[in-house]
Amino acid sequence: MKTTKKPNEGIVEKDIIGKIIVPSDVYYGVETERALNNYRVSGIHIQREFVQVYALVKKCAAISNMNAGKLDKKIGAAIVAACDEIIDGKFLDQFKIDIFQAGAGTNINMNVNEVVANRALEIIGSEKGNFSLIHPNDHVNMSQSTNDTVPSVIRISTFIEIKKLLIPALRMLEKELSDKAEDFASIIKIGRTHLQDAVPMSLGQEFSGYAETISFLIDNIENAARYLLEIPIGGTAIGTGLNASEEYRQDIIKQINNELKIFKIDEKFMLSKNRFRDTQNRIAEMILSDAINSFTIGLNKIINDLVILVSGPRTGIHELILKSAQPGSSIMPGKINPSYLEMQNMVLFQVQGTNYIIRKAVSSAQLELNVYMPIIAYNLLFSIRILSNSIKIFSKNAIKELKVDVERINKYIENNLSIVTSLTPYIGYDKASDIVMTAYKENKTIMQVCTELKILDPIKLKELLDPKSQI
C-alpha cells in the first residue's frame, strides 16, 4: 500500500484495486474510504461499544506480539497508545461504515487497523499514511484475521453489555414486580381465564407470577450468555491459526482478561474448545438472542395483562391505575392512554424482529465462515441497548408507580359467580351450576341465592364463600 500527498485534495492511497483519494483530515485509509463510497445504504454503523472492544483486542494483540518477539517494541507501544485513546472514546467519529457492507466485517477490521496505524504514526512523530513505518496489516493486524477478531469482539462486547446494562435493568424490573407482589398481598380480586370470571386470588399472587416469570427468564439469559465466553482469537482466517503462534494465543487471552477488569466482570474469557466451530458458526450468539427473545415474549404477555387490567377508566376493568405519561388524544379531551405499556411493547416487537434477523444470518453461513457477522453484531447490541433502556423506564414509571382501584376490585368480588366453586365438594357440580344460572338470570349474588335456597348452614356458607378462604 503506497501513499502520496496531493495538495488540497487529500492523500492518494493505492491498494490492489487501484488509487483512491483519502481526505487528509481523517484517520482511516484506502479500504475504509472505498467501503464508505461503496455501501451508502442506511446511514447505520456499528456501535461505539463494538469499536472500543475492537481497539481493546488490537491492543492485546500488540502486547502479545511484542511478548512473542514478533513486533518491534516502539511500534507496539505506539499501537497500544493509539488503541487506548480509542478505548477512552477518542476518534470514534472515524468509524462510519454502513452496517450493510462487504461480508464478515473485513471493512470494520480494516477501519480499525487503519485508524490505529495512522494515529500510531502520529504518536511516533511521523505523518499519517506513512505505512512503511507502521502498517495497518503488517503491524496492527499481526497474528490476526477478520475471521477470528470479529467473532471475538462480538462475544466480548455483547457479554459486557449484557452484564453492564441488560441484567441490571431486568433485575430492576424483577424487584419492582416482587415489591408489588408484597404490597398487593392482602388485596383479593377476581381471577380470570378465557377473559371470563374465575375463582378469587390475591393481586399479590398475580404479581408474584409475573415476578417469578421475569426471574426465570433472566436466569435463562445469563445461562445463554456464558456461551459467549469462548472466543476463537488466534484462529486467524479459518481456524487453523495460520501466522499466529500458540504462545501468542495463550498470551492474548490473558491480556484480554486483564484489560477487561475495568468492566468489573467476574467471568473469564477462554480460548474456544474448537476454533473451527467458533469460526464457522455464530450459534452461541443465536442461543443468546433466542433467550432474549424468550424474555420479550414473557414480558409481552405480562404487559398485555396490564393493558386489560388498567383499561377504562369508566367502561373497562380498571383494577389497576397506571401513571399518566401524557395526553392520549388530539381530539378527545382528557383521554389518557397506557403509554408506558405501549412503548415497552413496541421495543419488544423490535427485539423480536432482530432475533429473526440474527437467526436468518446464523443459518445462512457457508463452509468455514459466517459472512453475515456485521448484522449479527449490530442487531445483538442494538437489542440489548433498547431493551435495557426501555425496561428501566417501564420499571420506574409503569410498575413502581402502579396503583390499585380497591373499590372496583371489591365490586367485582361481590358480584363474582365463580366463588360457587368452593361449594361443589358439598353440593355437587350440577347443583352449583344451577345456583350460578339462577344468580346470573336474577342478577343476584351467589350468597343471596344460597341463602334463599337455604344451601348449607349459614355459618358454613359464609365461611366457604369468603373470598379470602379461596386463595
**Which residues neighbour 56 within 8 Å (Cβ) at sequence distance 6 or greater?**
83, 87, 156, 256, 259, 260
Q: Are 21 and 121 in contact (CB under 8 A)?
A: no
DSSP 8-state symbol, 323? P
User: Which residues are CB-neighbours of 186 under 8 A, at least 6 positions away?
Assistant: 202, 204
Give the residue carrying C-alpha cell 377508566.
Answer: 313
Q: How far apart are CA 291 and CA 222, in angstroms?
A: 9
Q: CA 346, CA 174: separation in Å to the nearest integer?
A: 20
User: What Cα–Cα distance (Å) separates residue 430 from each residue in 435, 438, 443, 453, 464?
Assistant: 9, 12, 20, 15, 18
Would you give the DSSP letter of residue 93?
G
**CA dihedral of residues 96, 102, 103, 104 (deg, nearest 10):** -50
Cis status of the peptide bond prior to 313, with omega within 30 of 0 = yes
In contact, 242 and 280? CB cutoff 8 Å = no
Helix or strand holding residue 412 (H, E): helix 406-415
Is 289 considered catalytic here? no
Q: End-to-end CA distance of the chain: give it in Å, rounded.
A: 77
Tell me which of 329, 363, 364, 433 is the catalytic residue.
329
HEC string of 165-225 equals HHHHHHHHHHHHHHHHHHHCCCCEEEEEECCEEEEEEEHHHHHHHHHHHHHHHHHHHHHHH
Please give the Cα distance from 437 to 450 (Å, whole number).
Answer: 12
**What does the alpha-carbon distance between residue 212 and residue 207 come to, in Å, rounded to a whole number?**
9
Which residues are designated catalytic?
329
